[in-house]
Amino acid sequence: MANVSQETMMFKRNREKAPVEQTIREVCVALEEKGYNPKDQLVGYLLSGDPTYITSHKDARNKLRQYERYELVEALLESYLASIR
């Protein structure tokens, strides 16, 4: 069996991009304007990676695809954790 380290690994990412929170808000507005439930559509995209869950209205799909899915999950998780503290 492989030797598994007991050390905690650090996950590092590039923070050079503009805040993802604003992009998520803009995408949610575009989804709502087209009659979609933003929560359902974002979950579909985050789980599958399929960009067709996000409308192209207001260039929302391209805006969201500038970010890796982990960056979106991280921003959503940070917002949630801040709200429960």
- Over the range 9-26, which residues count as b (16 or more CB within 10 Å of their CB) and which as e? eeeeeeeeeeebeebbee
Confidence (pTM): 0.77
Residue 66 DSSP label? T
Written as six digits, the tokens of 30 are 């575009």
What's the structural domain count of the chain? 1
Q: Which domain holds residue 54?
A: 20-84
Angle between helices 20-33 and 38-48 (to 10 degrees): 120
Instruction: Please indicate, yes or no, if residue 80 is contained in any of the structural domains.
Output: yes
Instruction: Please indicate, yes or no, if residue 34 is contained in any of the structural domains.
Output: yes
pLDDT, one tens digit per residue, over 36-82 is 999 999 999 999 999 999 999 999 999 999 999 999 999 999 999 99
CA distance 60 to 51: 10
Instruction: Please indicate, yes or no, if residue 79 is contained in any of the structural domains.
Output: yes
Instruction: Please indicate, yes or no, if residue 15 is contained in any of the structural domains.
Output: no
Under a CB-based contact definition with an 8 Å cutoff, are residues 59 and 26 in contact? no
Per-residue pLDDT, 64: 96
Instruction: Please indicate, yes or no, if residue 4 is contained in any of the structural domains.
Output: no
Instruction: Please indicate, yes or no, if residue 50 is contained in any of the structural domains.
Output: yes
